[in-house]
């Protein structure tokens, strides 16, 4: 009998999970929150509308019998997540999703488990802004507690005048302040834990961000010393077990002179894992479904060196796609500047992957 999964959210991650799921006989219902655009999931399953004024019972009725419920983003209504959790089918669970929705809670819970995170202070009000300078000096990075994605709600502060300007943006919630980390690279670890507790880890992925948005990824990130990789995997393994995590979880790290430090975690499939759609024996999307449906996990082994480049709104897509060798995925979204519209994967030897990504990047940026 075919399995049925409900995905909360209708963006590109829901689309990519559903496309992978179709190949292993999973059918989908998508929940559109607050009238969000649903073009990404067009023709991939049933779409059910929900807004916070609707009851969760009516939502569950509309979804019907499901084997698992999962989310494609963190920024979800607390009442909704907690109610869905009561079914016992929300994977990962509400506590975990809510924990990563809030940067302060996330950092505190990672620190409590001994995972090294970027140093931070919580700045509750504009009067406390000096605390960040007292702790770390300039330059600083301020982040809102919630609603952070693609570098949004994040501010670089280099001097006192920029700090004063930030005070004007206060909206009553405060900030997390971090020193600006001088990293040599950024990497992420895509990990998976199933209902039965089986775990697999993909090779570390190197990520390049432009203006806070992921530009491209290459895996495996062999330049990271093996003992650092092993230590990071051990920390995340402990964390998955401690949280009784189910599904794909991605951890973003800064590579520094003193080792890997965690920037943030994502309780879901992640843009830095999109290369697995072509370059690994089992994609992060299929393994997420296998994990939440308690099926045996597939091999995360890469099939060679793999790369991914993001295609954003406003880019010269026609020209960018002339570079040979890419496996292109467009998300059927309306073109808006800076919006993630698609991605392209490539495999081959390291030099080829690197040079084709560089070429595609230059052409995508060209007029």
Instruction: Enter the tokens of residue 106.
Output: 């996330």
Of residues 67 and 106, the one with the C-beta less far from Mg ion? 106
Of residues 263 and 282, the one with the C-beta less far from Mg ion? 263
Residue 141 touches which of ligand ATP, Mg ion, none (CB < 5 to 8 A by kind)?
Answer: ligand ATP
Residue 181 touches which of ligand ATP, Mg ion, none (CB < 5 to 8 A by kind)?
Answer: ligand ATP
Of 227, 207, 131, 134, whose CA–CA distance to 175 is shortest? 131
59-63: long-range contacts, CB 8 A cutoff, minimum separation 24: 59/31, 60/84, 60/87, 63/6, 63/29, 63/31
Binding mask 221-260 for Mg ion (x = CB under 5 A): -------------------------------x--------
Instruction: Enter the tokens of residue 334.
Output: 């309306």
DSSP string for residues in 114-144: T--B---EEE-SGGGTHHHHHHH-SSEEEEE
266 - beta bridge partners? 250
214 - beta bridge partners? 209
- Under the binding rule (CB under 6 A), the answer on residue 85 touching ligand ATP is no
Collapsed DSSP state (helix, strand, coil) of residue 192: strand
Count other Cβ atoms within 10 Å, centred on residue 158.
11
Residues 116-135 that bind ligand ATP (CB under 6 A): 118
Of residues 151 and 325, the one with the C-beta less far from ligand ATP? 151
Contact 253, 180 (CB under 8 A): no
Largest CA distance in the chain: 63
Residue 137, class by beta-carbon neighbours within 10 Å (0-12 exposed, 13-18 middle, 19+ buried)?
exposed
Residue 313 touches which of Mg ion, ligand ATP, none (CB < 5 to 8 A by kind)?
Answer: none
Q: Which of 264, 274, 292, 295 binds ligand ATP (CB under 6 A)?
A: 264
Smallest distance, Mg ion to C-beta of residue 349, A: 29
Smallest distance, ligand ATP to C-beta of residue 35, A: 23
Of residues 101 and 288, the one with the C-beta less far from ligand ATP? 101
Residues 138-167 that bind ligand ATP (CB under 6 A): 141, 148-152, 154
Of residues 46 and 209, the one with the C-beta less far from ligand ATP? 209
Euclidean distance between the first and the last CA atom of the chain, given in angstroms as a whole number: 51
Rg (CA), the chain: 20
Of residues 29 and 216, the one with the C-beta less far from ligand ATP? 216
Of residues 205 and 263, the one with the C-beta less far from ligand ATP? 263
Taking CB under 6 A as the binding criterion, the range among 89-97, 178-186, 293-301, 340-348 that sits at the site for ligand ATP is 178-186
Q: Among positive and negative, which fits the CA dihedral 76, 81, 83, 88?
A: positive
Of residues 194 and 284, the one with the C-beta less far from ligand ATP? 284
Integer Cα distance of 186 and 161 in angstroms? 29
Integer Cα distance of 20 and 153 in angstroms? 32
Smallest distance, Mg ion to C-beta of residue 263, A: 6
Residue 74 touches which of Mg ion, ligand ATP, none (CB < 5 to 8 A by kind)?
Answer: none
- Size of interface with Mg ion, in residues (CB under 5 A): 1
Residue 151 touches which of ligand ATP, Mg ion, none (CB < 5 to 8 A by kind)?
Answer: ligand ATP
State the residue number with the nearest CB to Mg ion.
Answer: 252
Smallest distance, Mg ion to C-beta of residue 105, A: 16
Q: Residues interacting with ligand ATP, by CB under 6 A?
A: 118, 141, 148-152, 154, 178, 180-181, 186, 209, 212, 252, 263-264
Binding site for Mg ion (CB under 5 A): 252
């Amino acid at each position: 009998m075919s399995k049925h999964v409900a995905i909360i959210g209708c963006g590109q991650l829901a689309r990519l999970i559903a496309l992978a799921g179709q190949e292993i006989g999973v059918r989908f219902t998508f929940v559109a929150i607050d009238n969000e655009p649903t073009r990404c999931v067009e023709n991939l399953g049933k779409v059910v509308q929900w807004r916070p004024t609707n009851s969760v019972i009516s939502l569950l009725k509309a979804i019907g019998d499901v084997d698992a419920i999962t989310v494609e983003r963190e920024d979800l209504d607390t009442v909704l997540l907690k109610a869905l959790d009561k079914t016992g089918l929300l994977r990962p669970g509400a506590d975990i999703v809510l924990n990563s929705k809030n940067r302060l809670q996330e950092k505190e819970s990672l620190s409590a488990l001994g995972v090294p995170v970027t140093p931070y202070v919580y700045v509750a009000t504009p009067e406390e802004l000096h605390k960040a300078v007292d702790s770390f000096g300039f330059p600083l990075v301020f982040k809102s507690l919630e609603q952070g994605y693609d570098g949004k709600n994040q501010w670089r502060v280099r001097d006192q005048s920029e700090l004063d300007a930030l005070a004007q943006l206060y909206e009553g919630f405060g900030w997390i302040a971090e020193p600006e980390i001088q990293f040599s690279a950024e990497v992420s670890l895509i990990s998976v834990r199933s209902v039965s507790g089986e775990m697999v880890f993909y090779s570390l992925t190197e990520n390049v961000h432009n203006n806070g948005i992921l530009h491209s990824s290459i895996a495996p990130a062999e330049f990271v010393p093996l003992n650092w990789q092993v230590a990071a995997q051990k920390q995340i393994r402990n964390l998955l077990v401690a949280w009784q995590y189910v599904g794909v979880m991605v951890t973003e790290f800064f590579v520094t002179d003193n080792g890997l430090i965690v920037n943030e975690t994502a309780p879901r499939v992640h843009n830095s894992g999109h290369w697995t759609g072509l370059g690994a024996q089992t994609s992060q999307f299929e393994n997420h479904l296998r994990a939440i449906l308690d099926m045996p996990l597939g091999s995360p082994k890469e099939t060679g060196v793999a790369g991914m480049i993001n295609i954003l709104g406003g880019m010269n897509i026609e020209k960018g796609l002339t570079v040979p060798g890419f496996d292109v995925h467009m998300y059927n979204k309306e073109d808006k500047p800076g919006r993630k519209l698609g991605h392209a994967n490539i495999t081959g030897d390291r030099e080829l992957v690197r040079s084709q990504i560089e070429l595609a990047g230059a052409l995508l940026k060209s007029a």
